[in-house]
């Protein structure tokens, strides 16, 4: 199985970029993990911006990828243990690729929302998209340590 993390824009904060990188490095011990950073739109109209970025997201998704959209209004809220169980389920079903999508500061287009099989809310709290990247990477790493019965390495 491969995990693909797709997000719009670069992580500008050096501390957050380093922290996400650290968790992704740790995660790579368990699973192939690729990050796809997509260029932000410079369109002035918000709707045009969402549409342009949405096309880029859809273009980055494999046709058979299980797509999970990180969405503040998502109905699915997994605990770390539930995420670990999902990881084991995906591996057991031989899912080839699981793609996690983090939109830009405006969110994502309706087409991206429709393409996602799961709309996952990391928290009832609102997180910046850069912070969501760190939380996503950390929770995926934590899920793999739980699934493998390993102590969580801090």
Q: What is the pLDDT, as a whole number, of residue 96?
A: 97
Whether 110 is in a domain gets the answer yes
Q: Which helix (H) or strand (E) holds 38?
A: strand 32-38
* Digit-coded pLDDT (tens) for 101-143: 999 989 999 999 999 999 999 988 888 889 999 999 999 999 9
Number of domains in the chain: 1
105 Cβ partners below 8 Å, 6+ apart? Answer: 9, 129
Whether 152 is in a domain gets the answer no
- Among 2-16, 85-99, 123-137, which is the least confidently predicted range? 123-137
Whether 153 is in a domain gets the answer no
Averaged over 14-22, what is the pLDDT? 97
Whether 15 is in a domain gets the answer yes
Kindly report the pTM of this predicted structure.
0.94
Domain that holds residue 52: 2-147
The Cα 14–Cα 24 span in angstroms is 15
Whether 73 is in a domain gets the answer yes
């Amino acid at each position: 199985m491969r995990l693909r993390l797709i997000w719009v824009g670069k992580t500008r904060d050096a501390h957050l970029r380093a922290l996400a990188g650290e968790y992704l490095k740790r995660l790579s011990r368990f699973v192939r993990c690729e990050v796809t950073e997509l260029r932000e739109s410079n369109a002035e109209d918000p709707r045009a911006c969402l549409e342009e970025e949405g096309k880029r997201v859809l273009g980055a998704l494999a046709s058979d990828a299980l797509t999970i959209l990180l969405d503040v209004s998502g109905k699915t809220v997994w605990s770390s243990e539930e995420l670990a169980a999902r990881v084991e389920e995906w591996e057991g079903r031989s899912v080839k690729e699981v793609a996690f999508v983090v939109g830009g500061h405006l969110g994502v287009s309706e087409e991206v929302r429709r393409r996602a099989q799961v709309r996952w809310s990391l928290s009832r709290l609102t997180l910046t998209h850069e912070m969501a990247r760190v939380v996503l990477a950390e929770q995926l790493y934590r899920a793999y340590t739980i699934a493998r019965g390993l102590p969580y390495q801090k």
